Amino acid sequence: MVRRAKSNYVIQSVSHALDVLEQFNGNVDEIGVTELSKRLKLHKNNVFRLLATLEARGYIEQNRVSENYRLGLKCLQLGQTFIHQMGLLLQARATLEELAKSAMESAFVAIRKGTGIVPLDFVEPVRPVRVVSFLGSVLPPHCTAVGKIYLAFEADGGVSQSDLEPLQRHNDKTITDSKGLADQIKETGEMGYAIENGEFVNEISSIAVPVRDYTRTLVGALAIVGPRDRLSMDKLRNDIAPMILNAGRDLSKRLGYAG
């Protein structure tokens, strides 16, 4: 029997429906029928039928005020299923819970998607003032601890400093000059951890370490994040750094890393 290439089995209407979903990326929250029609080079009637089908199944929903469309809850449910199936997340949960308990601050694990950093799991401490979960947010690499981990430790094929030029300013503490960022990345490589001191959100500090798997590949960044008035530079370096370095090594070992 002659096997046909899988591309011969592609159903065009399904492909178009996936094209619609893929238009909603980190930079776009809502899109109208006209804009989707232009982007996909499809007739408005075809786009409307695709949206109606996706809406009926919960993958798309309409903003009744603007009449534009956005992703529906079914996309979130699928994403959560994917996340829980990933080995990193399965192994990281216990580490996050222990870190949040020991440091009494929030802990999370994140991965790179394109030129952004995306938190995948987040554990909050039991205390009234804390940094709350920002799952689903896309964090900038140049001014977050988890992002600096990827700039410092990811091998060829990852995001580089040149990919981020010009460096976007988020507040008065954000580093926007190339040399300043290069110095931080060099220091991160030497220390084995990265620090963010209010560079993205003024009131928040964080520290992060790399997580590797059995192939020695960087598969994630493990971080502790909290209010700046509690996480001073001294506390981060003297108290939190040893704790999270040990946690990162332990998590990497459980993923098969032998370094």
Asked if residue 195 lies in contact with residue 201, where contact means CB atoms within 8 angstroms, the answer is no
Tokens standing for residue 184: 């931080």
Tens-place pLDDT, residues 155-175: 776 777 677 778 889 888 888
132 and 245 in one domain? Answer: yes
33 in any annotated domain: yes
Q: What residues have CB less than 8 Å from 123, skipping those under 6 apart?
A: 93, 96, 97, 99, 100, 106, 107, 108
- Spell out, as residue ranges, where the chain has pLDDT lower than 70: 1-8, 26-28, 80-86, 157, 161
Q: How many whole angstroms separate alpha carbon 148 and alpha carbon 161?
A: 10
**Burial (0-12, 13-18, 19+ Cβ within 10 Å), 196:** buried
38 and 152 in one domain? Answer: no
In angstroms, the Cα distances linking 256 to 31, 143, 159, 209, 251 are 43, 30, 24, 17, 9
- Domain range holding 201? 86-254
Per-residue pLDDT, 1: 46
Tens-place pLDDT, residues 45-62: 999 999 999 999 999 999
Percent pLDDT > 70 in the chain is 92
238 and 182 in one domain? Answer: yes
Per-residue pLDDT, 81: 67
For the chain, how many structural domains are there in total?
A: 2
124 and 48 in one domain? Answer: no
Q: What backbone phi and psi angles, to 5 degrees, belong to 59?
A: -85, -20
148 and 210 in one domain? Answer: yes
Residue 192's CATH number: 3.30.450.40
Residue 23's CATH number: 1.10.10.10
158 in any annotated domain: yes
Q: What is the pTM of this model?
A: 0.69
